[in-house]
Chain A
């Protein structure tokens, strides 16, 4: 995985991520949009055969966009952990 910053201001962040397709981006977009400090979050996969994606985050100004992104990833991570826990529990006899 490689990350390149395309644009960064006090409330906007646009990054290009090598090796992240719809799997991660769609999940992160949804998690970002849950944050009330986030004005806009979107992603684009410029070429369907290359797994390079562009993620764009714009906040309302109170929080830094990278901070919002970090929190979004953490929420996704938390969800995955919870799934793992519940899955193990469900499989126990």
Chain B
């Protein structure tokens, strides 16, 4: 197995993984989406709401605001020693919002939420929550908790997590007459024409649509697009809740734990029976 980092910044990560198979990368992808926990607002106490939106809609919008997450400092509510439905300060963060349109119509943004923990705040201050006209008020207290994507999408730490096969493009230079039709049709501008030759400009962006093969006037096509079934481009975009690296290491940890747990149970059960 070999991994190469193709792109990495605060929210995006793109990896080239060689020597694995689909079930493994898919397990990783599913774990990232459904099992890696992050913080989201889960309960809202509305104190005053004279805006045009119902309490439920505001609560739903609040839930979907991604929050910066501290996985080391907080427990999942079901794993917290407090065993309380309401939660304690190890499994719950309270945020308050007190907004009023004093001067005239204005929008309430996520930046107005005041958190009791300065580390657990919305990832962006500019997410609109509701518009208030003059003299309307919105006052509430919200409780954020850790949760998993399998329960609700608001607990997904990623906005996107995908993989695709690594493309392979072969151009038969003997039969290719450099008509340039494949260059023209390619939606991702993978190919370029260099004097009388077709060259691959950026292989990684190829979507494997094979339009270039269909349009080629040669029969069989002078260009051939295929893929390597053991090499993947793994793409991940964090919501900002957790850094991409942490999301992947967390997914690896969860997979590890589940596999261990699984085998332990199978061993115990089969011993019981025999």
Contact = CB atoms under 8 A, between A and B. Distances in A.
A45 interface: no
A contact face: mostly helix, strand, loop, or mixed: helix
B139 to A, nearest CB: 38
Given A1-B261, A87-B249, A91-B5, A80 B256 contact: yes
Contacts of A79: 1, 20, 24
A3 interface: yes
Contact of A4 (B8, B26, B269): B269
B23 A29 contact: yes
Contacts of A89: 3
Contact of A27 (B15, B27, B252): B27
B-side binding surface: helix, strand, loop or mixed?
A: helix
A47 to B, nearest CB: 15
B189 to A, nearest CB: 28
B23 A80 contact: no
B127 interface: no
Interface residues of B, number: 39
Interface in A10-67: 13, 15, 17, 20-24, 26-27, 29-31, 66
A89 B220 CA distance: 43
B2 A76 contact: no
B266 A15 contact: yes
A23 B30 contact: yes
A36 B39 CA distance: 45
B258 A24 contact: yes
Contact of B259 (A2, A17, A77, A91): A77
B86 interface: no
A56 B263 CA distance: 15
Nearest to B13: A91
Contacts of A2: 265
Contact of A82 (B1, B267, B268): B1
B56 interface: no
Contact of A3 (B3, B21, B266): B266
Interface string B1-28: 1111100100000010100111110111
B269 A26 contact: no
A86 B1 contact: yes
A77 B1 contact: no
Contacts of B1: 79, 82-83, 86
Interface of B: 1-5, 8, 15, 17, 20-24, 26-28, 30-31, 34-35, 245, 248-249, 252, 255-256, 258-263, 265-270, 273
8 contacts: A5-B273, A23-B26, A23-B30, A70-B266, A73-B262, A87-B15, A87-B248, A90-B3
Given A31-B23, A87-B3, 17 more contacts: A3-B269, A8-B270, A17-B262, A21-B30, A23-B26, A23-B30, A23-B34, A26-B26, A26-B27, A27-B23, A66-B266, A73-B262, A73-B266, A77-B256, A77-B259, A81-B256, A83-B20
